[in-house]
Structure formats: structure tokens, C-alpha cells
């Protein structure tokens, strides 16, 4: 027997690396433009220093399923991989590493620091791409890109210059979210608001006598940030607030430092919040800044970049803002300005990266105007040129696009593309792609300028300012920033890409901005479909995180269960847009599926074929049935794929393989132990197995490739990867119906066995009435363990066996001495009651004239059929009861 060829157990670790190497050697993942239809995916580039976590596994498994499916569908599939330089994340890692060596970033300077950063990148960068190979990802590695490689950095710089010259990039003083730990501004989107326990301090501000001395009158403000009072520029009340009319035109004194500030009026102040008096601190609060603009208030910054009070604060200079808060409260208490302290919970912004409390800070930053870009990008999605799956994210997207604020694109970091603005000694600046061009431009202003006089802007650009070009720049980095540039061959062929798989958390950061860049530079959406995955959570619904330690190491899982099993484990629970509740038992289920596939092939492989053996009736029926069942299922699978219901597609394939093929088909055609199988059945079985492997391949690439080689002699360079997806053929639906009826009959007879404790080996007899499709009797006989079947007009003494009703077909299993009439009567009565209830419901419907008048004919016909079937069922049950009660 050939069975010896195949190990008894499937060992993924013995198989996966071998095939991945084979695929690489043969360049199966590589794509070049040709005359076939392209199918393109760009990877959501993971952080260059990142390591594989479960979120990546989910995302990249989905990507790989789509790309492998497209490849087998005959498209020219190209999956472009790469990594993102991730300026903040990478820089903070390098800073931490240097810190551990006692090195301070500022001490070594920009150039030296960048050397360390590149070293770090060389060492750790791309680990994650190696890990993706373990997962089986069929990326075109020859096309691997990095967002900070020279060509892509140039694209970023060109883009900046392009928008600057278009007048959409401007430098502005803005209130930004300052992270005092990372020493950088972070975007609104990188701020997480958390409810935080704090206090509400009620402070007395005395009215000034006009000479800078306090009178005995005072007003009360309520604040959570008493350490900022030294930066107050005014006290503001609502002009409609009668309680504060007396304050009009007055000046008050800031406690402790006795600086005089005016009382002003502005609608912004809520009358019923706090005391109705608001201290206005333009330098340290976003809203106050805006009030300040309206009322021309001076801006006094008293907190420095590190979150410490500076000399302008006059008191508590050099103290950290939180220490200063504690100390100033004490001082205010001592000076008699503290009226009361309330407990108060308020939302406070924290930095996503460092978890430091965000300090609103005035800062010179670069901005990109969003108005037009956002309007276009909104239209792209609303017009359906780009679809979101699931659709619900269109709402979120619309909300963002309609309220998009200008994009702060500068970051106070070193790791990233440096802003190409060059300052002249007089403070003016020019924006050019290269220092040479900048010098030229500067000399146009002032001919005396030399290269060394120009100082380039210290800031780098936001990482997203490079990743938004990704779908374009991976193919043709020359294109961004150059509308006149003719797309190169790759860009012309691969753009727009087809599908993007990503998380909804970066819908605005990345997805929206890619659409903006795509529309701006290509005049076309960058992808047709965006499939949003959920967040991977543990069984308890917690987000996976390092600190909780609830995130398994995907590589360990792959080592233990195999990549195919891990892929299945992720896909089993991954309906689009819903969070994923991951549990290792799902991976075990995937591993079990591998074992099932493996063992089913061992069975087939063990058969000996006898060319002269006739095909058994049951086998002939099984072959016809499975061929039809396969076609019907392929239709369903294709439908699921077309709607991005990947886990449904997987489940459909899973059931086709396990239930239909293994439990029904193979059991039907399986020859007696040691007996040979006929040629027709054997060949059909192999062709079914071949089709099944192809269906399974996109989700389980390794085991399918391994088994596919055993199906036929394989020549070097052949692969299941490029085998065509099986197509659905026309099938006989009525035949499938009759076969299903047979299956129900088999289940019913097995039920009788279980109930009566009849061992499987003990053969039974079966009588059926003519309403049962007789062609199916060989099938029923084989799988229900029957020694004989007989078509009769009358079952005779029904007390001598068990009568069964399968849909409307009547069956009878003669059983001598095993039947308890009372039990049978009770069972039948229960069934009768159920049928009668059902009939009643149907009749209520049918006797309703409105129903008959309004419902479509087909629906009414269905109800009539239900009625007829129920009546015939009731009749036969009643007959059986009558016979039993004799």
C-alpha cells in the first residue's frame, strides 16, 4: 500500500519552511505588469522596529487570502510589502536605548543620533517582514519598500514643496498638543482623553482699586489648574450674567503676584458652570487662546517645553507643573485666596505614546490645509468609488471629513523627513526640495546669501505625511508632488490598487489621507475597497497588550500548531468590523482541520484500485451527489468572497470538506476494509480532492501545497498557487433535494439505533412507502447499516418496529422485541401536537383574507404546501397511533 509514503501525522514544521522556500526560489510571489488583469494590495506598512502581534496576524492573513484567491482566479496578483519608519515610535525606542547607555540625544546631536537610529533600523528593521514569511504571506518581496528609503523620502519632500507652492502649506502659531516627555507636538488624534480625578479650586481674585491694590471686594473663579494663574490675561464673564454686572470695567488682581488684569465679557462662558467667572489663560488653554484672540489679550507663557514653570511665572520657577500645583494651593490657602476645594473628575488629554498629560502650548508649526482635500476625499467615498466594508464606517468617515481641521504636519523629532524650509539670517525662509535649489531661491531674495547662511528647519514631517503616499510611491516615487510626471509602467499598471485591509482606528490618519493624496496626484482613488478588521481582543474582551501580557506570541503559536492552523484560528472569528475575540481553542480547531484534511487523504491514498470492479450503486450516487454539492457550495463561497465575508467563506469550505466530503461522501464510497475500489469512483474522488485543495488553498496554503504534490506527479516549478479556482458547474437541484431527504432518513434511523442501543454492526431492515425516492435506497442502506430495504404499500403491524416520518415520507424499521408501545405512543403524541400547532398557525394565515389578498402568490403557495404536508404528516402519525393502540 502506498499509505506508507505519508506520515501518519501531519507535521506542519516539516512542511511549511520547505514550501515557502520553494515558492521563493520559483519567484511565485513576484509580479510584473503584463496583459492580464492586475490585482494589487499594498501592505499596511508595519513599524520598521515592530514585531509581529496578533493584529498583524489577522490583517496579513486576510490580505494573503485575498491575494492568493485573486492569483488562482487568474489575475496578476501583486502584494507590495514594506515598512514604515514610524518617527515617534522608532525615535522613542532609540532614545530609550541610548538612555540606557547613559547617552542623551541632545548631547550627541542630530547627525550622530541619526547614525544610531539607522543602526537600530538595520538591526531590527525588517524582523517583522521575516515573521510574515512564517505566516505564509505571499508578498512580492522584490518590491519591498521602506517609507524612509531615499526615493520615498524624496517623494515626501517633493510633496511638501508641491503643496507649499500651491499655497496649501503654511506656517502658523497654533495651540498644539505638547507632549512634555517626548518633547514634541502630537496631533489631536494622538491625544487620548481619560477621565481623571482632580480638584476644582475656588479662588478669590480681589478687585483692584485702580492703583494695583486690593479692595475688600472680590470675585470667585473655579479652576483645575491653579498653577497657571500667573499667566492669566483676564477674567471673563458672560455678558448676560446679571450676577456679574457689577464687575463691568473693573480690574482684578491675580493672587500671589498681584498683577492687574481686566474683566471682559464673552458668550463662551457658561453661566451655570462653576462660578460663572472664567480665568482666561491664553498661553495654556485652547479656548482661552481663542478668547484672547477675540479680545486682543496678551499671551504670557509660563510653562516651558519640559512642563516646568519658567521665570515669567515669577513664583515657583523651575517647578514641574504638578508639583507647582500642590505648592501653589498651599500658598493660596495661606494667603487667604483659596475659598474651597471640590473633588472633580474631568477629562484630561494624555499622549498616546508616552501617556504624559498633554500641555496645550503655543508653537510654530507647519500646517496643511484640509478643506479641499477633505471635500474631494469625502466625495470619493460617498460616490462609491471607494467602498467601505462594513459600510457603517462611512458615517465615521463623513463626520471626520466634514470637520477636518488643518493637518499639523511638523514634528519636533529627528527621525523622519526633515522639513525643506531654509531660513535666511533675517528670519525669512524659502521652501525647496534641495539645499542647492534653496540657495538659488534665497539668492534671488538676497544675492549675498551663501550656503552656510541658510539654516534648515529643525523639524521633521509627521509619519503619515509619508505613508499617505504609499499606494503611489511604492510603484513610482517620482509621482507625488509632480502632477505633470507621466506614471511609470508599474504605477500605470498597478494603480489604483484593489483592496486595502486595515483597522478602523487609522481610518482618518491613513485611509482618508491616502484617498486625499491619491485624488490629488493621480486624480483617482487609491483603492476600490477598504476592509476594516476589528481589534483583536482576548477571550475576556480586553485589548491585547504587552502590559496585560494577554497577547500570545504568534511565532510560538505557529511553531506549535503550524501557520495554517493559526490562520484558520484568526479567520474563524473575524467578521468584518467586529472586534475579534481570540482564543487559542480556535487555533486548535485549525490544527484539527489540518489533521482532518491529512487523514482523509491518507484514506484515499491507501485504496487499491481494481479496474475491473464495477461501481457500486451507492458510489455512483455519491459521485453524482458530491459533484453537484461541490458546485452548489462553490457558488456560495464565491458569493461570500465577493462580499468580503471571509470567515463565512472559510466556514462554508470547512463544512464542505469535513461534513460533506469526509462524513458523507467518503463514508459512502469507502470500500470494505482491504477491498479494492473501482476505477470510476477512485478517479472521481481524486478529482474532488483536487478541487477541495484548491478551494482551501487561499486560507491554508501550506498543507494544500504539500498534499497537492501527492495527487499527481509534479514537475519542478508547478504549484497549487497558480492552479485555477474550481468553477461551479450546472447542477441538478432536485437531485440534491432527494439526496438530502435520504440523509435525513439516515439520521433518523441512526437516531433509532442510538435510542434503542442497537450496535452499529447489527444490520437493520427498512420498509418505505412509495413516496420515498427509491433511487436513494442504496445510499440509505450503506450509511444506516441496513441489510435489506423494501418498498411496501402497508407497514403491517407497526407495533413490531419503529415508524419514522421524514418530511412527508414514511419509513419503518422493523425491530422485534425492542419496541415499547407506550414510549412510542408518547413520542408520536408529542410530534402530533407539534404538527397540529404548526398546522393551526398555517391555517390562521391562510384563512386571513388580507393575507391571501396581499401576499405574493408564491408565498401563498408555499403556505398551502405547508398545510398539505402537515395534513399528510398528521394523518400518518394518527394511523401509526391507531395501530399501536390496537
Which residues in 855-884 are b (16+ Cβ under 10 Å) and which e?
Answer: beeeebeebeebbebbebbbebbeebbebb
Least distance in angstroms from the C-beta of 86 to RNA:
19
Q: State which residue, 212 or 606, has the beta carbon closest to RNA.
A: 606
By CB under 7 A, what part of segment 375-414 binds RNA? 392, 395-396, 399-400, 403
Q: State which residue, 192 or 375, has the beta carbon closest to RNA.
A: 192
Q: Based on the shown chain and the rule CB under 7 A, indicate whether residue 68 belongs to the binding site for RNA.
A: no
* 818 SS3 class: coil
Least distance in angstroms from the C-beta of 115 to RNA:
36
Strands 277-280 and 338-351, sheet pairing: unpaired
Least distance in angstroms from the C-beta of 325 to RNA:
11
Per CB under 7 A, the list member of 866, 872, 874, 884 interacting with RNA is 866
Q: State which residue, 458 or 638, has the beta carbon closest to RNA.
A: 638
DSSP letter for each residue of 560-610 = HH-HHHHHHHHHTT--TTSPEE--HHHHHHHHHHHHHHHHHHHHHHH--EE
Q: Based on the shown chain and the rule CB under 7 A, indicate whether residue 834 belongs to the binding site for RNA.
A: yes
Q: State which residue, 477 or 562, has the beta carbon closest to RNA.
A: 562
Least distance in angstroms from the C-beta of 472 to RNA:
26
Which positions from 738 to 757 touch RNA by CB under 7 A, shown as an x/- string?
--------xxx-xx-xxx-x
Q: State which residue, 295 or 750, has the beta carbon closest to RNA.
A: 750
Least distance in angstroms from the C-beta of 39 to RNA:
24
Which positions from 108 to 147 touch RNA by CB under 7 A, shown as an x/- string?
----------------------------------------
Per CB under 7 A, the list member of 443, 592, 687, 879 interacting with RNA is 592
Q: State which residue, 173 or 747, has the beta carbon closest to RNA.
A: 747
By CB under 7 A, what part of segment 309-368 binds RNA? 346-347
Q: State which residue, 424 or 580, has the beta carbon closest to RNA.
A: 580
Give the DSSP H or E segment for 312. Answer: none
Rg of the chain taking only CA atoms, in angstroms: 37
Which one of the spans 449-457, 479-487, 572-580, 876-884 is the region binding RNA (CB under 7 A)?
Answer: 572-580
Q: State which residue, 64 or 190, has the beta carbon closest to RNA.
A: 190
Least distance in angstroms from the C-beta of 747 to RNA:
4
Geometric angle at alpha carbon 396, from 392 and 397, rounded to 5°: 105
Q: Based on the shown chain and the rule CB under 7 A, indicate whether residue 606 belongs to the binding site for RNA.
A: yes
Per CB under 7 A, the list member of 53, 143, 279, 513 interacting with RNA is 279
Asked whether the beta carbons of 442 and 449 are under 8 A apart, the reply is yes
Q: Based on the shown chain and the rule CB under 7 A, indicate whether residue 732 belongs to the binding site for RNA.
A: no
Which positions from 647 to 686 touch RNA by CB under 7 A, shown as an x/- string?
xx--x--xx--xx--xx--xx--x--x-------------
By CB under 7 A, what part of segment 471-500 binds RNA? none
d(CA 743, CA 751): 12
Per CB under 7 A, the list member of 581, 686, 756, 867 interacting with RNA is 581
Q: Based on the shown chain and the rule CB under 7 A, indicate whether residue 835 belongs to the binding site for RNA.
A: yes
> Helical H runs in 209-347?
286-295, 321-335
Least distance in angstroms from the C-beta of 8 to RNA:
7
Which positions from 193 to 232 touch RNA by CB under 7 A, shown as an x/- string?
x---------------------------xxxxx-------
Contacts of 187 (CB under 8 A, 6+ apart): 177, 407, 408, 462
Residue with cell 546669501: 449
Q: State which residue, 37 or 270, has the beta carbon closest to RNA.
A: 270
Per CB under 7 A, the list member of 760, 827, 829, 830 interacting with RNA is 760
Contacts of 138 (CB under 8 A, 6+ apart): 23, 28, 29, 64, 67, 68, 71, 77, 79, 701, 721
Per CB under 7 A, the list member of 594, 691, 764, 809 interacting with RNA is 594
Q: Is residue 25 packed enough to be buried (19+ CB in 10 Å), middle (13-18) or exposed (0-12)? A: exposed
Residue with cell 547627525: 111
Q: Based on the shown chain and the rule CB under 7 A, indicate whether residue 871 belongs to the binding site for RNA.
A: no
Q: Based on the shown chain and the rule CB under 7 A, indicate whether residue 575 belongs to the binding site for RNA.
A: yes
Q: State which residue, 24 or 613, has the beta carbon closest to RNA.
A: 613
Q: Based on the shown chain and the rule CB under 7 A, indicate whether residue 585 belongs to the binding site for RNA.
A: yes
Q: Could you check whether the bond before residue 155 is cis, i.e. omega within 30 degrees of 0? A: no
Asked whether the beta carbons of 59 and 139 are under 8 A apart, the reply is no
Give the DSSP H or E segment for 752. Answer: helix 733-756
d(CA 142, CA 467): 19
By CB under 7 A, what part of segment 512-571 binds RNA? 539, 541
DSSP letter for each residue of 628-692 = HHHHHHHHHHHHHHHTT-HHHHHHHHHHIIIIIIIIIIIHHHPPSTT--EEHHHHHHHHHHHHHH
Per CB under 7 A, the list member of 17, 189, 379, 584 interacting with RNA is 189
Asked whether the beta carbons of 544 and 53 are under 8 A apart, the reply is yes
Asked whether the beta carbons of 362 and 286 are under 8 A apart, the reply is no
Geometric angle at alpha carbon 683, from 680 and 687, rounded to 5°: 135
By CB under 7 A, what part of segment 446-475 binds RNA? none
- DSSP class of residue 487 equals P
Grid coordinates belonging to 268: 463662551
Least distance in angstroms from the C-beta of 620 to RNA:
19
Q: State which residue, 275 or 473, has the beta carbon closest to RNA.
A: 275
Least distance in angstroms from the C-beta of 288 to RNA:
7
d(CA 251, CA 249): 7
Amino acid at each position: 500500500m502506498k499509505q506508507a509514503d505519508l506520515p501518519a501525522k501531519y507535521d506542519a514544521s516539516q512542511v511549511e519552511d520547505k514550501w515557502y522556500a520553494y515558492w521563493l526560489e520559483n519567484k511565485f510571489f513576484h509580479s510584473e505588469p503584463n496583459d492580464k488583469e492586475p490585482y494589487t494590495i499594498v501592505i499596511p506598512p508595519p513599524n520598521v522596529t515592530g514585531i509581529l502581534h496578533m493584529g498583524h496576524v489577522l490583517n496579513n492573513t486576510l490580505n494573503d487570502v485575498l491575494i492568493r484567491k485573486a492569483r488562482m482566479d487568474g489575475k496578476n496578483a501583486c502584494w507590495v510589502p514594506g515598512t514604515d519608519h514610524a518617527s515617534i515610535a522608532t525615535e522613542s525606542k532609540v532614545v530609550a536605548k541610548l538612555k540606557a547607555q547613559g547617552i542623551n540625544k541632545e548631547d550627541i546631536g542630530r547627525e550622530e543620533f541619526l547614525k544610531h537610529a539607522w543602526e537600530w533600523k538595520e538591526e531590527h528593521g525588517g524582523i517583522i517582514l521575516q515573521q510574515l514569511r512564517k505566516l505564509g504571506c505571499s508578498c512580492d518581496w522584490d518590491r519591498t519598500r521602506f517609507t524612509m528609503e531615499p526615493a520615498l523620502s524624496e517623494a515626501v519632500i517633493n510633496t511638501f514643496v508641491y503643496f507649499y507652492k500651491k499655497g496649501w502649506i503654511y506656517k502658523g502659531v497654533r495651540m498644539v498638543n505638547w507632549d512634555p516627555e517626548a518633547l514634541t507636538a502630537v496631533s489631536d488624534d494622538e491625544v487620548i482623553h481619560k477621565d481623571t480625578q482632580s480638584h476644582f479650586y475656588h479662588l478669590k481674585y480681589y478687585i483692584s482699586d485702580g492703583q494695583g491694590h486690593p479692595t475688600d471686594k472680590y470675585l470667585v473663579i473655579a479652576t483645575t489648574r491653579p498653577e497657571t494663574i500667573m499667566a492669566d490675561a483676564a477674567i471673563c464673564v458672560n455678558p448676560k450674567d446679571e450676577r456679574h454686572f457689577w464687575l463691568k470695567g473693573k480690574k482684578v488682581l491675580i493672587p500671589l503676584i498681584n498683577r492687574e488684569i481686566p474683566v471682559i465679557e464673552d458668550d463662551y462662558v457658561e453661566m451655570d458652570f462653576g462660578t460663572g467667572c472664567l480665568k482666561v489663560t491664553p498661553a495654556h488653554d485652547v479656548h482661552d487662546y481663542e478668547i484672547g484672540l477675540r479680545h486682543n489679550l496678551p499671551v504670557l507663557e509660563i510653562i516651558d517645553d519640559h512642563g516646568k514653570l519658567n521665570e515669567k511665572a515669577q513664583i515657583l520657577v523651575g517647578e514641574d507643573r504638578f508639583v507647582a500645583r500642590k505648592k501653589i494651593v498651599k500658598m493660596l490657602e495661606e494667603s487667604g485666596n483659596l475659598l474651597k476645594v471640590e473633588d472633580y473628575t474631568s477629562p484630561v488629554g494624555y499622549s498616546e505614546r508616552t501617556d504624559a498629560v498633554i500641555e496645550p502650548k503655543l508653537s510654530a508649526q507647519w500646517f496643511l490645509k484640509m478643506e479641499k482635500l477633505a471635500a474631494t476625499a469625502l466625495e470619493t467615498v460617498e460616490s462609491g468609488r471607494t467602498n467601505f466594508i462594513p459600510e457603517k464606517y462611512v458615517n465615521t468617515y463623513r463626520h471626520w471629513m466634514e470637520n477636518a481641521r488643518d493637518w499639523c504636519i511638523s514634528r519636533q523629532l529627528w527621525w523622519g523627513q526633515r522639513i525643506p524650509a531654509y531660513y535666511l539670517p533675517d528670519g525669512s525662509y524659502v521652501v525647496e526640495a534641495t539645499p542647492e535649489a534653496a540657495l538659488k531661491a534665497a539668492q534671488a531674495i538676497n544675492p549675498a546669501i551663501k550656503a552656510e547662511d541658510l539654516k534648515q528647519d529643525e523639524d521633521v514631517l509627521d509619519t503619515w505625511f509619508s505613508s499617505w503616499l504609499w499606494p503611489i510611491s511604492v510603484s513610482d516615487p517620482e509621482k507625488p508632488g509632480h502632477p505633470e510626471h507621466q506614471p511609470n509602467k508599474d504605477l500605470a499598471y498597478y494603480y489604483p490598487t484593489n483592496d486595502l485591509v486595515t483597522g478602523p482606528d487609522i481610518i482618518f490618519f491613513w485611509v482618508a489621507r491616502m484617498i486625499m493624496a491619491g485624488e490629488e496626484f493621480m486624480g483617482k482613488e487609491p483603492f476600490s475597497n477598504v476592509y476594516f478588521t476589528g481589534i483583536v481582543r482576548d477571550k475576556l474582551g480586553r485589548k491585547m497588550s504587552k502590559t496585560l501580557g494577554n497577547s500570545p506570541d504568534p511565532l510560538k503559536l505557529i511553531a506549535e500548531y503550524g501557520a495554517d492552523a493559526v490562520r484558520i484560528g484568526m479567520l474563524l472569528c473575524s467578521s468584518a468590523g467586529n472586534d475579534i475575540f481570540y482564543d487559542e481553542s480556535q487555533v486548535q480547531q485549525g490544527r484539527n482541520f489540518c489533521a482532518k484534511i491529512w487523514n482523509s487523504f491518507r484514506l484515499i491514498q491507501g485504496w487499491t484500485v481494481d479496474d475491473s470492479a464495477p461501481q457500486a450503486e451507492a458510489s455512483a450516487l455519491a459521485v453524482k451527489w458530491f459533484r453537484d454539492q461541490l458546485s452548489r457550495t462553490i457558488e456560495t463561497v464565491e458569493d461570500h468572497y465577493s462580499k468580503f465575508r471571509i470567515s463565512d467563506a472559510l466556514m462554508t469550505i470547512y463544512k464542505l470538506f469535513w461534513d460533506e466530503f469526509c462524513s458523507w461522501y467518503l463514508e459512502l464510497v469507502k470500500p470494505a476494509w482491504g477491498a479494492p475500489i473501482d476505477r470510476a469512483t477512485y478517479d472521481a474522488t481524486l478529482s474532488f480532492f483536487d478541487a477541495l485543495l484548491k478551494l482551501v488553498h487561499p486560507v491554508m496554503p501550506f498543507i494544500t501545497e504539500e498534499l497537492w504534490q501527492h495527487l499527481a506527479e509534479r514537475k519542478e516549478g508547478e504549484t497549487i498557487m497558480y492552479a485555477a479556482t474550481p468553477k461551479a458547474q450546472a447542477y441538478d437541484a432536485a437531485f440534491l433535494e432527494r439526496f438530502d431527504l435520504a440523509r435525513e432518513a439516515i439520521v433518523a434511523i441512526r437516531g433509532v439505533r442510538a435510542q434503542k442501543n442497537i450496535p452499529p454492526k447489527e444490520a437493520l431492515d427498512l420498509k418505505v412507502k412509495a413516496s420515498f425516492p427509491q433511487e436513494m435506497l442504496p445510499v440509505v442502506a450503506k450509511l444506516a447499516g441496513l441489510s435489506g430495504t423494501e418498498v411496501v404499500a402497508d407497514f403491517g403491524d407497526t407495533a413490531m418496529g419503529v415508524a419514522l416520518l421524514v418530511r412527508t415520507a414514511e419509513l419503518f424499521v422493523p425491530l422485534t422485541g425492542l419496541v415499547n408501545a407506550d414510549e412510542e405512543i408518547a413520542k408520536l403524541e408529542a410530534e402530533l401536537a407539534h404538527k397540529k400547532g404548526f398546522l393551526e398557525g398555517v391555517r390562521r394565515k391562510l384563512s386571513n383574507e388580507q393575507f391571501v389578498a396581499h401576499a405574493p402568490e408564491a408565498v401563498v403557495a408555499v403556505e398551502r404546501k405547508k398545510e398539505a404536508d402537515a395534513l399528510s404528516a398528521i394523518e400518518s402519525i394518527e394511523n401509526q397511533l391507531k395501530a399501536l393502540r390496537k
